[in-house]
Chains A and B, each alone.
Chain A
Amino acid sequence: MTQILRDDVLHLAQLSSLQLADDEVDALQQDLSNIVGYIEQLAGLDTTGVEPTYQVTGLANVWRQDEVDQSGTVRDQLLALAPEQQNNSVKVPKVL
């Protein structure tokens, strides 16, 4: 059975943009080990020559008219949702 190490938890947290508190790491190490231990059983199913299924309705290339509408795109409403704004822009911390 695959062991999820403490370093694995920290690596996955980094991949997931989660800055975990120290006390969360130990609990997640145990939980993730249990979950991986469960899902690993799928290796026991022979899938040789089977095509994967990514969607179930068979719909493909569904198009719509390229028409502009106002639904949900009212600038002031959308901007008001941002935690911080300045000069009609979303304000963020220094990037570089």
Chain B
Amino acid sequence: MASIADYTGNSARANVEKALAAAKSNESYHALLSLTEARALKRADAVDRGEITGRLAGVPFVVKDNFLAFGAPTTAASKMLENFDAPLQATAVEKLEAEGAICIGKANLDAFAHGGSTENSAFGPTKNAHDQGRVAGGSSGGSAVVTALDIVPFALGTDTGGSIRQPASFNGVVGVKPTYGAVSRYGVVAMASSTDTIGCFATNADDAALVMGVMTGRDVRDMTTLPDFFVPTTGVRPQKIGLIREYMSDDVDGEVRMAIEKYVDRLRAAGHTVEEVSLPAVKYALAMYYIIVPAEVSSNLARYDGIRYGHRAEGVQTLAELYGRSRDEGFVTENKRRIMIGSYVLSSGFFDAYYQQAQKARTILINEYNTLFENYDLLIGPVAPTPAFRLGENTADPVKMYLADIMTVPPSLAGLPAISVPGGTSASGLPIGVQLIGPQKSDATLLALAASVEGSQ
């Protein structure tokens, strides 16, 4: 796969035309919902004339279609926003454009980022880059696949509970979910505000660090952003790493465990120490997540009312009917499940038993992480319990689909940075990702460590 350096210094128009051609010749993967062709070529010419300069001048990229961006509608892969033309661009997109990067299209996702396979897209699923009979992962499946297919050298995604890391693992690319608050979420369709993060896919860890370095930092339009702490680094001192025991149980696919063990051997060979550690509260993390996130989803998606923007049902008589039918028609089933579970756990009489209990459990989980980080620099484990599953395999039972998130939600609940790096393939050729998790603000160290062992055996 090509790196960002393979694009810089070339004719921007040639870069963009090549990326657009690759996007069109790979349509069968259904990774992209739209191309921003006219705007991309116009920007490319401006770069070639020297009017736009920067560290990413002329480098094409793709955004997940829940980022507000010019040149094509921002649909969130939903009928609700099918015709929504963004009046502004996300801060993350603006920052990349300020460095000369050129957005060429918008990637498929599970509608409103609800899902782990991209099968919940209202416009049809994305196919895995390595096996078209399997899922891309999700919810940022399209962004992972365009990176793995070498259409662009990097792509943006959002990660609320694994939506960057899991598709990165399933498609064999690097995926970064940063520390909560590292990147502004202004102009990105909100899902669950206490865990939503913006990150990227890239073909190698150094490129991911470059892109994250451009995107991070305080934004007056998103008051949850942290003062910029992200400084790309090279070379890491020997790290003390904890291998999470609960992630290596018999419930996890044998080939996945083997891939993690091989990566651990590479870390040890590079001079790092790896010891088994325990994080007992992770067994409750998925239950916490599927209480807290639906609660926040039900609140955030209340704005889609068919009045000011988005889909409006036709032939309605009353306001209540307009709300009810517009929302029923505009949301996919998984959106409705999450909204209704959110209404359930926030209902009077249930609030203490579910929402409050989950937020207390979250404290216990965070305390366990903090205790481990007193003795360990970072943690390691799988990204997902299996390689990419077959299309349709988990769609009948939502809980079975949720279980694919079991290893990615715990760092999200604690706001920790976590990355997925390629860790080889299964016997049948499916990629398997390795997850590196660090304390808050250790994002650059995680990427530097990954970069330092890239290419080692």
Judging by beta carbons under 8 Å apart, are B364 and A64 in contact? no
Q: How far is the CA of A25 from the CA of B177 in the complex (A)?
A: 36
Closest residue of chain B to A63, judged by CB? B223
Judging by beta carbons under 8 Å apart, are A42 and B363 in contact? no
Q: How far is the CA of A62 from the CA of B221 in the complex (A)?
A: 11
Judging by beta carbons under 8 Å apart, are B323 and A17 in contact? yes
Judging by beta carbons under 8 Å apart, are A39 and B291 in contact? yes
Q: Does B456 contact A (CB under 8 A)?
A: no
Judging by beta carbons under 8 Å apart, are B298 and A16 in contact? yes
Judging by beta carbons under 8 Å apart, are A52 and B336 in contact? no
Judging by beta carbons under 8 Å apart, are A50 and B339 in contact? no
**Which of B36-44, B82-90, B258-266, B371-379 is near enough to bind chain A?**
B82-90
Q: How far is the CA of A24 from the CA of B319 in the complex (A)?
A: 22
Judging by beta carbons under 8 Å apart, are A45 and B361 in contact? yes
Q: How far is the CA of A73 from the CA of B284 in the complex (A)?
A: 43
With a cutoff of 8 Å between Cβ atoms, the chain A residues found around residue B284 in the complex are 41-42, 44-45
CB distance from B316 to the nearest CB of A (A): 6
Considering only residues 408-425 of chain B, those with a C-beta below 8 Å from chain A are 413-415
CB distance from A42 to the nearest CB of B (A): 4
CB distance from A26 to the nearest CB of B (A): 12
With a cutoff of 8 Å between Cβ atoms, the chain B residues found around residue A21 in the complex are 328
Closest residue of chain B to A15, judged by CB? B343
CB distance from B418 to the nearest CB of A (A): 13
Judging by beta carbons under 8 Å apart, are A62 and B336 in contact? no
Judging by beta carbons under 8 Å apart, are B87 and A52 in contact? no
Judging by beta carbons under 8 Å apart, are A38 and B363 in contact? no
Q: Contact check: which of B84, B221, B306, B363 meets A52 at CB < 8 Å?
A: B363
Judging by beta carbons under 8 Å apart, are B325 and A57 in contact? no
Q: Does B270 contact A (CB under 8 A)?
A: no
Q: Contact check: which of B308, B337, B339, B397 meets A82 at CB < 8 Å?
A: B308
With a cutoff of 8 Å between Cβ atoms, the chain A residues found around residue B324 in the complex are 17-19
Q: Does B277 contact A (CB under 8 A)?
A: no
What are the interface flags for A15-35 relative to B under an 8 Å C-beta threshold, 1 for contact and 0 otherwise? 111111100100110011011
Judging by beta carbons under 8 Å apart, are B226 and A52 in contact? no
Q: How far is the CA of A37 from the CA of B399 in the complex (A)?
A: 9
Q: How far is the CA of A69 from the CA of B41 in the complex (A)?
A: 29
Judging by beta carbons under 8 Å apart, are A47 and B364 in contact? yes
Q: Does A53 contact B (CB under 8 A)?
A: yes
Q: Does B279 contact A (CB under 8 A)?
A: no
Q: Does B288 contact A (CB under 8 A)?
A: yes
Q: Does B132 contact A (CB under 8 A)?
A: no
Q: Does A1 contact B (CB under 8 A)?
A: no
CB distance from A50 to the nearest CB of B (A): 4
Q: Does B398 contact A (CB under 8 A)?
A: yes
Q: How far is the CA of A39 from the CA of B346 in the complex (A)?
A: 14
Considering only residues 213-242 of chain B, those with a C-beta below 8 Å from chain A are 220-221, 223-224, 226
Q: Does B3 contact A (CB under 8 A)?
A: no
Q: Contact check: which of B322, B363, B399, B440 meets A53 at CB < 8 Å?
A: B363
**Which of B12-20, B104-112, B349-357, B444-452 is near enough to bind chain A?**
B349-357
Q: Contact check: which of B194, B305, B361 meets A42 at CB < 8 Å?
A: B361
Q: Contact check: which of A13, A35, A51, A90 meets B341 at CB < 8 Å?
A: A35
Judging by beta carbons under 8 Å apart, are A56 and B357 in contact? no
With a cutoff of 8 Å between Cβ atoms, the chain B residues found around residue A47 in the complex are 357, 360-361, 363-364
Q: How far is the CA of A69 from the CA of B254 in the complex (A)?
A: 56
Q: Contact check: which of B306, B319, B366, B413 meets A95 at CB < 8 Å?
A: B319
With a cutoff of 8 Å between Cβ atoms, the chain A residues found around residue B398 in the complex are 31, 34-35
Judging by beta carbons under 8 Å apart, are B337 and A35 in contact? yes
Judging by beta carbons under 8 Å apart, are A82 and B359 in contact? no
With a cutoff of 8 Å between Cβ atoms, the chain B residues found around residue A53 in the complex are 359-360, 362-363, 366
Judging by beta carbons under 8 Å apart, are A28 and B337 in contact? yes
CB distance from B70 to the nearest CB of A (A): 11
Q: Contact check: which of B194, B340, B402, B440 meets A13 at CB < 8 Å?
A: B340
Could you pull out 15 A-B pairs where Cβ atoms are within 8 angstroms?
A: A16-B342, A17-B323, A17-B327, A18-B324, A18-B328, A18-B336, A19-B325, A35-B399, A42-B288, A43-B357, A47-B363, A56-B366, A57-B440, A92-B322, A93-B321
Q: A83-B309, A92-B307, A94-B319 are in contact. List 5 more A-B contacts (CB 8 A).
A: A18-B327, A41-B284, A59-B223, A92-B319, A93-B322
List the 7 closest A-B pairs by CB distance, nearest first: A19-B324, A56-B415, A52-B359, A72-B88, A83-B312, A47-B360, A81-B309
